[in-house]
Amino acid sequence: MENQVLTPHVYWAQRHRELYLRVELSDVQNPAISITENVLHFKAQGHGAKGDNVYEFHLEFLDLVKPELVYKLTQRQVNITVQKKVSQWWERLTKQEKRPLFLAPDFDRWLDESDAEMELRAKEEERLNKLRIESQGSPETLASLKKGYLFMYNLVQFLGFSWIFVNMTVRFLILGKESFYDTFHTVADMMYFCQMLAVVEAINAAIGVTKSSVIPSLFQLLGRNFILFIVFGTMEEMQNKAVVFFVFYIWSTAEILRYPFYMLSCIDMDWKVLTWLRYTMWIPLYPLGCLAEAVSVIQSIPIFNETGRFSFTLPYPVKIKVRFSFFLQIYLIILFLGLYINFRHLYKQRRRRFGQKKKKIH
């Protein structure tokens, strides 16, 4: 006896872009599902309301749909998804006004038009947020990249200043005081590199990559670069003076303590000895560095006066010659002002770091 061709129960729901159909058939075999000329054709062997039979139906849609469809078989049903050609709300599913007897709303998925619009907006916002996150990177990824970038920056600076420190120390142990007078020609290139790279540090503070204060970072950067590029770099007479050794040695000593501390902070490590050195050694090093820089400026004043470098004459009718040494004297005032600002800033950092521990003890 041939299997009787029957119509299964079909339930439907819609969204602005899609149609959902649920065919109540279990144990479906050999399904033939297609869309031709805007009509959905369904035929399959399965177990439905009339037992195990071949079930078949055809639906002509109210408006145009895409011919490609997606279906999924489960043990209890067949789920079909059809894409509308135009995103809009339909007043019914079929072209014929009278609803077929086998067709009914799928109340499990049913939404009215306003609710569907809200769902559509929510999905669109979710999609845009996902695209934004993918383009910008997730917060965890950005944090990892930031830590990696800061670790590499601090590592490069540490290696650069370590090279300067070791080079100067070894040369002093071998040559003694004689090493003072050719320090510039020996380590100036590396010092130039490190101090130019230090511009990144001020930028990081300015744009919020690090929590460092901008003004102290800028004071130190501009002050050191003024000494290195203007006072030492432009005057050969200054490059052979012993003061260069003391300036470079104090700078490098401070930095080989500071940069490893920042490196370990990037990987959430705290080495107590290094932390104590980082927050304590600046107390003698900063005043000594300021003193050495002041000596270099004072020694350069007569040389700048003699050579007339960077001096200029004001235009008519003033015609007054302005010597560069005038700006050097102003710089000396700024130098000690910068020392006060940095000293105050570092003292607050030290008190914040170690003051909490004292409170816990009491």
Residues designated as active site? 286, 293
Q: Are strands 51-60 and 5-6 parallel, antiparallel or unpaired?
A: parallel
Q: Is 91 exposed, middle or buried (0-12, 13-18, 19+ CB in 10 A)?
A: exposed
Q: From CA 170, how far away is CA 176, in angstroms rounded?
A: 9
Q: From CA 142, how far away is CA 237, in angstroms rounded?
A: 49
| Of 330, 241, 342, residue with least CA distance to 290 | 342
Plot region of 57 (φ>0 → left; ψ -120 to 50 → alpha; else → beta): beta
- Beta pairing partners, 55: 6, 44
What is the DSSP secondary-structure string of 122-187? Answer: HHHHHHHHHHHHHHH--HHHHHHHHHHHHHHHHHHHHHHHHHHHHHHHHHHHHHGGGGGGGHHHHH
Phi, psi (deg, nearest 5) at residue 205: -70, -40
Contacts 24+ apart (CB under 8 A), 2-6: 3/45, 3/52, 3/53, 3/54, 4/50, 4/53, 4/54, 5/53, 5/54, 5/55, 5/56, 6/48, 6/49, 6/50, 6/53, 6/54, 6/55, 6/56
- Asked if residue 71 lies in contact with residue 80, where contact means CB atoms within 8 angstroms, the answer is yes
